[in-house]
Amino acid sequence: MSPIILEEQGQVAVMRLNRGVINAISPEVVNDLSVKIAMVRSNSSGLVLTGGDKFFCIGFDIPKLLEMNQSGMTDFFHDFNQAVMDLFTLPLPTACAIKGHAIAGGTILLLACDYRFASYQKALIGLNEIRLGVPTPYLADMMLRQITGDQVASEILYLGEFMESVDAAKHGIISEVFPKEEVESKAIEKISHISKFNLKAFAETKANRAELIRLRYEGNYRPKNQAFLECWFSQATQKSLREAAEKSFGK
């Protein structure tokens, strides 16, 4: 079964993470995400990204990634960031419908969307990379700072703590909160409305917002990604990651 299901709601595509309860991000998920984003770009007028009721996405599939050598992990990390960039720069209106927890890589995916609607019922959001021994990926760092401002983003990234969706909304990380059963329909409603506008005009407006981050990423991603990978393969971080895998994945 595909790790991502693509559905149609009129001219709006609903992209649903479909990898068990926790929707961990594996190489297969990243590959499918890239393929599905390209399909949406060609065939739809807007996108809603969503996941499960308990977890939108727990983040990276740490047990699986720990099995990779440096070459394999380098390819995965590059491909993940490229997929996030493709989502961030998609010339269509996008929304993320978050009904459950969005952890680390899950939060990165929601940051790449134009709108982020979440349940106010037990939905934790956060970038806890620093606690595992790696920096928050460069692209995610820039997206967060654009949304929250530098001071708030630094506090979030330095501490690596999770927050409730209602608190994330105070910083603009979440656009609006709703009862869990309304989150997805509200996201579809918003994107359906915007997708009726002139999409060429929308694409140009969105490109203006994304331009600085896109250019900075394209100019600096190689050393920034390498710094992440050096931390990932350090002895202390590998130990921390194995402990996290055992705690969160039972492996």
The Cα–Cα gap between 49 and 15 comes to 5
Mean pLDDT across 127-149: 98
**Is 226 inside any structural domain?**
no
Mean pLDDT across 79-105: 98
Q: What percent of the chain has pLDDT over 90?
A: 97
| Angle CA 136–74–131, to nearest 5 | 30
* Residue 248: pLDDT over 90: no
Let me know: does 56 contact 23? Beta carbons within 8 Å: yes
**Is 29 inside any structural domain?**
yes
**Is 209 inside any structural domain?**
no
* Residue 124: pLDDT over 70: yes
**Is 193 inside any structural domain?**
no
10-27 confidence digits (pLDDT tens): 999 999 999 999 999 999
pLDDT for residue 138? 98
pLDDT for residue 224? 98
pLDDT for residue 251? 60
Mean pLDDT across 223-251: 94
Q: DSSP string of the chain?
A: --SEEEEEETTEEEEEE-STTTT-B-HHHHHHHHHHHHHHHHH-SEEEEE--SSEEE--B-HHHHHTS-HHHHHHHHHHHHHHHHHHHT-SS-EEEEE-SEEETHHHHHHHTSSEEEEESSS-EEE--HHHHTSPPPHHHHHHHHHHH-HHHHHHHHHH---EEHHHHHHTTSSSEEE-GGGHHHHHHHHHHHHTTS-HHHHHHHHHHHHHHHHHHHHHHHHHHHHHHHHHHTSHHHHHHHHHHHHHHH--
Mean pLDDT across 127-131: 98
Q: Residue 198: which residues within 8 A CB-CB, separation 6 or more?
A: none
181-233 confidence digits (pLDDT tens): 999 999 999 999 999 999 999 999 999 999 999 999 999 999 999 999 999 99
**Is 190 inside any structural domain?**
no
Mean pLDDT across 132-140: 98
Indicate the pLDDT class of residue 121, thresholds 50, 70 and 90.
confident
Overall domain count for the chain: 1
32-81 confidence digits (pLDDT tens): 999 999 999 999 999 999 999 999 999 999 999 999 999 999 999 999 99
Domain hosting 32: range is: 4-180
User: What CATH number does residue 39 fall under?
Assistant: 3.90.226.10
Which pTM does this prediction carry? Answer: 0.97
**Is 203 inside any structural domain?**
no
Let me know: does 22 contact 61? Beta carbons within 8 Å: no
**Is 206 inside any structural domain?**
no
Let me know: does 229 contact 69? Beta carbons within 8 Å: no
Q: Give Cα 15 to chain centroid, integer Å.
A: 13
**Is 115 inside any structural domain?**
yes
